[in-house]
């Protein structure tokens, strides 16, 4: 049972890929919020996703934020912990 919890925690921390959601910038234009959080992802994956979205037009990074923290969970079998890395940037495609 303990191994199952550890594997699940590892998959949550390492899994995933950069995701994007359409949003609007402060000047009312269309933009994208790109998230590349997790231990297995990095800022390069956020930039790659931005390139996929905007293509040859290119893009402008309007905002970029990231932080790192820890998560601890426990049950009757013990305590488990790991690190959490959040990365997010907002872009708009060049016209």
Q: Answer yes or no: is pLDDT of 13 > 70.
A: no
14 against 33, higher pLDDT: 33
CA dist 4 → 9, 38, 41, 73 (Å): 9, 20, 23, 14
- Alpha-carbon span 59 to 31, nearest angstrom: 10
pLDDT at 40: 81
Q: What is the largest CA-CA distance in the chain?
A: 56
pLDDT at 84: 74
pLDDT at 15: 52
Q: Answer yes or no: is pLDDT of 75 > 70.
A: yes
Contact of 79 with 70, CB cutoff 8 Å? no
pLDDT in tens, 19-73: 999 999 989 999 999 999 888 889 999 999 999 999 999 999 999 998 776 667 7
- Alpha-carbon span 81 to 75, nearest angstrom: 12
User: pTM higher than 0.85 for the full model?
Assistant: no
- Closest to 61 measured CA to CA, from 42, 43, 84: 43
pLDDT at 30: 95
Q: Answer yes or no: is pLDDT of 14 > 60.
A: no
């Amino acid at each position: 049972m303990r191994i199952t919890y550890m594997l699940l925690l590892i998959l949550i921390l390492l899994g995933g890929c950069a995701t994007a959601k359409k949003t609007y910038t402060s000047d009312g234009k269309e933009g994208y919020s790109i998230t590349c959080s997790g231990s297995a992802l990095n800022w390069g994956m956020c930039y790659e996703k931005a390139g996929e979205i905007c293509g040859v037009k290119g893009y402008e990074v309007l905002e970029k934020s990231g932080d790192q923290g820890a998560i601890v969970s426990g049950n009757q079998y013990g305590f488990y912990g790991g690190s959490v890395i959040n990365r997010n940037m907002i872009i708009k495609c060049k016209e």
